[in-house]
Structure 1
Amino acid sequence: MSTIAPAPVHVVEAESTPTPKRRRRRGRVRWGMWITLAVIAFFGFAPAYWLLRTSLTPDHLVFQFPPSLLPSEITFDHYATVFGNPEIFGYLRNSIIVSVITAVLSVVVSMYMGFAFSKYRFGGRKSLMYFVLSSQMFPQALLLVTLYLVFAQFGLLNTYLALILSFTTFTLPLCVWMLKGFFDALPDDLIEAARIDGASPWRIFHSVILPLAAPGLVAAGLFAFVRGWNDFIFALTLAGPDRQTLPPGLVNTFISEASTSWPALMAASLIVSVPVCIAFILLQRFLVGGITAGAVKG
Structure 2
Amino acid sequence: MEFPFDVNALFSERITVLDQNLTTGRRSLGRPDHQHHIATVIDELGKASAKAQQLAAPITSAAKLQMNRHHLYLLKDGESNGGRGVAVGFLKVGYKKLFLLDQRGAHVETEPLCVLDFYVAERLQRHGYGLELFRWMLQHKRVDPVQMAYDRPSPKFLSFLEKHFGLKDSVPQVNNFVVFDGFFRNRSAVQLRKAPPRKPEGEIKPYSLTEREALREEQKALPWPFARPAPPPPSPPHAQSSAFSRSLSVGSSPSRAPPHRSLAPSSYRGQSAHPQLIESMNCRARRTSSLNRSQISFN
Pick the TM interval, shorter chain.
Answer: under 0.3
Structure of greater relative contact order (alpha carbons < 8 Å, 6+ residues apart): 1
Instruction: Say which structure is richer in helix.
Output: 1
Instruction: Say which structure is richer in strand.
Output: 2
Please tell me whether Structure 1 or Structure 2 has the larger radius of gyration of its CA atoms. Answer: 2
| TM-score, length of structure 2 as denominator length | 0.23
| TM-score, length of structure 1 as denominator length | 0.23
